Amino acid sequence: MNVACGRIAMSTATESDSEFDQTLLRLLAGCAAQDQAALQSLYELVSPLLFACLKRMLRRRSIAEEALQDVFVTIWLRAGQFRPERGRPLAWLVSIARYRAIDLLRRERWAPALTADLPEQAAAAPEKEQWLSAGPLLERCLALLTDQQRQCLELAFVGGNSHDEVARLTGSPLGTVKSWIRRALQTLKACLES
């Protein structure tokens, strides 16, 4: 059954993602037209994913809850500016949340507790829900990276860690971490654009 499920997940990811995109587009158009029900539906659909991202990056639940409010206020106000021909709606929504978290990490005086983060990041994750498919392309490109490069990218993108924090978390020199990340991004770019 493993094999059958795996095959289905892969073969239908694109079709299902595009249907998912269509719904997000419709809801964003609703928000742009000041339809409050559209924002609520959008909230029901994507808030668990966005909240999980915010919680991971900001580490504190209460701050993540406030950030989630900011994010949906922003989505409501900016929905009219979203241009479907320029990109996928989920990337747009996730970016609003991630950039808000990075803003808060930059502006807040509190220092995030780093210690609790690493074990969770490093743990194998058999029980995690697969909300997003990496897609065969990114999966293939990620496979070109070293384990260290991949870990650094995930600590930065998913965990919201700066260069300094990634260096501390991995116990590697800052200069080394910067060059791992730079090279990882170069490799990904070459692979993704090929």
Partner 1 sequence: MNVAPDNPELIDRLAAEYVLGTLRGAARVRFERWRTTSNLVNDRCQFWEERLVPLLREIQAVPPPPHVWQDIRRRLNFSTAAPRRRNVRALALAASVLLVVGLAAFLYWRTLTTERATEVATISAPSGALMWQVEIYGRAGAARGLSVHAGAFAAPPEGRDYELWALPKTGAPVSLGVLPYRESVTRRALTGEQQQALDRSSQLAVSIEPPGGSPTGAPTGAVVFVVSLRVAT
Residue numbers 19-58 binding partner 1 by CB under 8 A: 19-20, 22-23, 26-27, 36-37, 39-41, 43-45, 47-49, 51-53, 55-56
The residue type of 180 is W
Q: What is the DSSP letter of 111?
A: P
- Nearest 10 degrees: CA dihedral of 99, 103, 104, 110? 130
Residue tagged 């990496």 (tokens): 134
Q: CB-wise, 57 or 115, nearer to partner 1?
A: 57
Q: CB of residue 115 vs partner 1: minimum separation in angstroms?
A: 20
Nearest 5 degrees, angle CA 139-CA 144-CA 148? 100
Q: CB-wise, 72 or 112, nearer to partner 1?
A: 72
Q: CB-wise, 106 or 113, nearer to partner 1?
A: 106
Residue choice 29, 84, 156, 183 for contact with partner 1 (CB under 8 A): 156
| DSSP string of 7-20, one letter each residue | HHHHHHHHHHHHHH
Residue 176 interacting with partner 1 (CB under 8 A): no
Residue 158 interacting with partner 1 (CB under 8 A): yes
Cα(115)–Cα(160) distance, rounded to whole angstroms? 14
CB 167, CB 174: distance < 8 Å: yes
Q: Is the torsion defined by CA of 87, 92, 98, 104 positive or negative?
A: positive
Q: CB-wise, 72 or 170, nearer to partner 1?
A: 72
89-118: contacts with partner 1 (CB under 8 A): 90-92, 94-95, 98, 102, 106
Residue 76 interacting with partner 1 (CB under 8 A): yes
2-21: contacts with partner 1 (CB under 8 A): 2, 4-17, 19-20
